[in-house]
Amino acid sequence: MTFKTAQKLRDALLWAGVIIAILGYSNVVMLIIGILFAFSGLMITRLFNKCPHCGKQLGTTKAGEHCRFCGKRID
Ligand SMILES: [Zn+2]
């Protein structure tokens, strides 16, 4: 999975989780499902939000910027 794909998937999972949790605020099962979606988005970030060159975590770096560790461009 590329850096850009991981960011899009993370955003989609986080938003889906938030929306499901809000819509299901009175339903414990829906609330748990929403929280699981949001956490899976965070796991995607943890696993794939890495520099393709040096492998270090990028934090909030956006695609097109440079890695703060090795200085190479993130595509
Ligand atoms: Zn790097």
What pTM value is reported for the model? 0.70
> What is the pLDDT tens value at each position of the chain, 75 positions in all?
777 888 888 899 999 999 998 988 788 999 899 999 999 988 888 888 888 899 888 877 676 788 889 999 887
Q: Tell me how far the alpha carbon of residue 61 lies from the centroid of ligand 1, in angstroms.
A: 11
Q: What is the pLDDT of residues 53-62, one digit of tens each?
A: 998 888 776 7
Residue 2 tokens read as: 């590329």
H/E stretch holding 40 reads helix 28-48
A 10 A CB-CB count for 6 gives 19
Give the 3-state secondary structure of residue 12. helix
What is the residue extent of each domain of the chain? 1-75
Q: What is the pLDDT of residues 10-21, one digit of tens each?
A: 899 999 999 998
Q: Tell me how far the alpha carbon of residue 56 lies from the centroid of ligand 1, in angstroms.
A: 6
Cβ proximity of 34 and 14 under 8 Å: no
**Alpha-carbon distance 38 to 44, whole Å?**
10
Q: Tell me how far the alpha carbon of residue 25 lies from the centroid of ligand 1, in angstroms.
A: 41
